[in-house]
Structures are given as C-alpha cells and as structure tokens.
Amino acid sequence: MEWIEKVNATVNSLIWGPYMLILLIGVGVLYTLKLRCFQLIHFRWWWNRTIMTLFRKEKHAGNTKRLSPFRAMSTALAGSVGTGNIVGVANAIALGGAGAVFWMWIAAFFGMATVMAENILGVKYREKHGDAYVGGPMYYIRKGLGCRWLAAVFAVFCTLAALGMGNMTQGNSLAGALHQAFGIPFPVSGIVLSVLVGVIIFGGIQRIAGFTEKLVPVMTLVYLAAILIVLGANFSTIPSALGKIISEAFDLQAASGGFLGYGMARAIKYGVSRGVFSNEAGLGSAPIVHAAADTDDPYQQGMWGIFQVFIDTTVLCTLMALCILTTGGDRSGLDGIALSAYAFEAVMGDAGNFFLSVSLILFAFGTLISWSYYGEKSLEYLTGGRFITLYRLIYAAVTYVGCVTSISLVWEISDTLNGLMALPNLAALLLLSGKVRYSEIHLPGHSAIGKSLSRNTKGRVSPFRDGSGKDAV
C-alpha cells in the first residue's frame, strides 16, 4: 500500500503541477479570444438563451425520448456542484489566503469559454445510438483527431474516476454528513444510498436527468438560503472582504526568508486549482452529458456550459468565500469542512451546522448520480455497450464501500485520475480549435450566420456545415 501512495504522489505532483494549471488557463484564454470574449460581451444574450427560457414557458419541440438542453445542464451542474463548492473554497482560502478567491474568478472566467468549446465539440462530433445521442471527448478525439488510442485512454481514466472521485469519495462525504447531522450509522447510510443510487441509475439517462432537474434547484436554494442569512448578518463587512480578496490577490510581500511574491504565488496556485476542481472546466466530463441534449445547435448547448460554470464558481463559490471572510473564518486557523462550518455556526449556531450538512448531502448525492452516467458512457465506448448492467451493479455496490471505509488514498488517486482525464481532452481542445468558430454563433443581427452555415430543408440552421457546403465534421 505504501508504494502505491508513493507512486501516486509522484504522478500527481507531475500532473497537477504548474504546467497543468498553465495549460488549463491557456486553453481558456485561447477560446476566449476565438469566441471574442463571448462569455462577457454577450452576457445578456446567453443568459436569455439559457436560464431565462424556463420563465418564458417555451416548449421543447424535440424528441421526448431524448434529453432537453436544460436537463443536460442540470445533470452536468449536479456533477460539478459538489464538495468542491463547500470544502474546496475553504481549502483555497486556508492555503492561499483571501486572494485565492480572485484567482478562482479568473479560472471561472476562462473556464466558461473552455466548457463552451467542449460542449460545441461534443455536439458536433456526437453519434446517434437508437433514439439517443452519445458524445464526449472520446468521440471528438476519435472522429476529430482520428486518434483511437487516445480516445480509449480518456474513456479508461473517466470510467475509473467515476468509481473513485464520482462515487466513493462523494459517498464517504455524504455518509459523514448524515452521521454528523442526524447520527445515522455509516452502514445504514451505505445500504440506503446504494439502493437509491441503483434505482436511479438503472432508469438510464432520462431518470438520472429527471432526478437532477429537480435536485439542482432544491440544493441550490437550500445552500443560498443559509449563505444569505450569514451574509445578511454581516452585510456591513462585505466591502472590506471584497477589498481583501483584491489586495491579497496581488500580495507581493516576501515570505520569511523566501522570495518576493510568495503570497501571490500561493493565491494563484490554490485559487486556480480549486476553481478548476469546482467547475471541472477542461476535465472532459460535462460534454459527455451535454452531447446527449436534443438540440440542432452546438453553440446553443455551449451557452448552457457557460451558465453552468457561472453558477458553480462565480456565484456559489464566491458567496461561500464571502461567508468565510465576513465571519473572520480566514483567521480561525481552520481548514476544509471545519472552516465552512465555522462560518455558518458563527451566525446560526447549531442550525448553521445543520444547514451545511444538508447542503453537503444534497451536493454529494447529485455528484454521485451524475458521475454514474459519465462512467457508464465511457465504458460503453470501450466495450460497445456490453457490461452496462454489471457496471451499474458495481457502481451501486461501490457506493456502500465508500460510505463505510476510510478512503483518504482513494481521494488522492481520484485526483490523479482526474488529471489524467484532462490531458487528452485538453490536447483535443487545442488541436480542434479550428472547428469552433465565432461566426457560427446565431446572434441577433449577426449576418455572418447566413454565410457560415447552410440551412436544411426545414429551414433550421445546420451546425454541421461551413461556408463551403461540406460537412464540417
């Protein structure tokens, strides 16, 4: 066991070193430039084309057996909004100071462009299996780059990461929260969760998406309610907390006996890494479910990806960070879940711990369910659809194992697997950047749309053709 820990530590330090962080941000910068800073300049447009469509009672005219764009986003958001939003933010502040929050914003800003590109490629290169669409990095790596072995490598790491980071670690956090809040024994939590997970995932993507579609609003509202109570009680200190975030983000003071800018370096390291951990931009998980959406326009689904990262990191992580800073949690010497709990308990007492536990339970369960789909689609790609029933049984059983065992090593190995997933995906994003074009975004008054895209016989825009009239994929 000890040699496994040493090997994993070595590999992890290489994968999640400074070069990976530079690559992650670099890909985001590339697509921000290619898409002409779409996530900022056209904020009102993509906001109206995503979440605001739910309030206009627009009917989805697609195949009811397929996944609606909102359900696809809900599943992806449930997968990314997890323990990283509660524990990751606290960890970033404890290790990198308040300035780490600023660099989380930077990671989120460029991450919006990355996820938009992932979703665009996911829809462009997807395949139709029966009545459903399937896609993701393994498909755009194979079809776009013609590299079957690299696509298989991604699928293998994604399948393993789903069982580790997506399942066991989330189950462990969930069972711990249930025990702390309600005194429920770990084996009881494991049995109940395994049954619930099995019932949901055996219903396929429609049941998974139907569940997450209802879970995401509930868990977000519960979390926001608790956060707003804390911030309301400390409203007057919010400006100073924001000022602290900005000032410490560019802290050029030298550490004792160290180098100039040590504080800034730590803020960047932990802010960017925890930001990516939270929203999963560049990891390759989100496009697996977004590719299943019943849409003819890859760029429209890409906008849902922007919304996903915006809510996950820009909104939820920022609010959690302000809770910690306005209550003085950054000076408490605490870290992780203890630091997050300190912020809630400072205002609400024991009720704060209850709210935090409930939020953690909902977040972890949403992540656990969503990642089952990522692993299943990756295994389906590798085996041609064989062993799916066996996989679902194993996934449900592993949930129990995660609940009743101490899995610190699984956390570490899962973190490494996530990095190994990201590498082939980021390589594909760089090499396929020419397939993502700003001119193909259907903006109001954007005359280029008629030139860059052809129309099919029903008069709908086809995302698969360029100005030459040939298939773009």
C-alpha to C-alpha distances, 3 to 8, 13, 208, 349, 409, nearest whole angstrom: 8, 15, 38, 44, 12
Q: What is the mean pLDDT of the chain?
A: 81
In this structure, the answer to whether residues 28 and 141 fall within a common structural domain is yes
In this structure, the answer to whether residues 120 and 220 fall within a common structural domain is yes
CATH code (residue 89): 1.10.4160
In this structure, the answer to whether residues 225 and 243 fall within a common structural domain is yes
Distance of CA 151 to the CA centre of its chain: 20
Task: Tell me the pLDDT band of 78, cut-offs 50, 70 and 90.
Answer: low
Q: How far apart are CA 459 and CA 86, in angstroms?
A: 46
Q: What is the pLDDT of residue 428?
A: 95
Check: CB of residue 78 under 8 Å from CB of residue 216.
Answer: yes
Segment among 57-66, 260-269, 315-324, 372-381 with least mean pLDDT:
57-66
pTM of the model: 0.83
Please give the residue that has the higher pLDDT: either 40 or 336: 40
In this structure, the answer to whether residues 347 and 467 fall within a common structural domain is no
Task: Tell me the pLDDT band of 452, cut-offs 50, 70 and 90.
Answer: very low
Q: How far apart are CA 308 and CA 305, in angstroms?
A: 5
Domain residues for the domain of 458 are 437-473
Q: Look at the chain and report how many structural domains it folds into.
A: 2
Check: CB of residue 62 under 8 Å from CB of residue 295.
Answer: yes
466 pLDDT more than 80: no
In this structure, the answer to whether residues 248 and 317 fall within a common structural domain is yes
In this structure, the answer to whether residues 119 and 70 fall within a common structural domain is yes
In this structure, the answer to whether residues 473 and 424 fall within a common structural domain is no
In this structure, the answer to whether residues 342 and 419 fall within a common structural domain is yes
The predicted-structure confidence for 340-364, as pLDDT tens digits, reads as follows 888 888 888 888 888 888 888 888 8
Residues 23, 142, 145, 27, Cα dihedral to 10°:
-20
Q: What is the pLDDT of residue 416?
A: 82
In this structure, the answer to whether residues 408 and 465 fall within a common structural domain is no
Q: How far apart are CA 343 and CA 352, in angstroms?
A: 8
In this structure, the answer to whether residues 364 and 399 fall within a common structural domain is yes
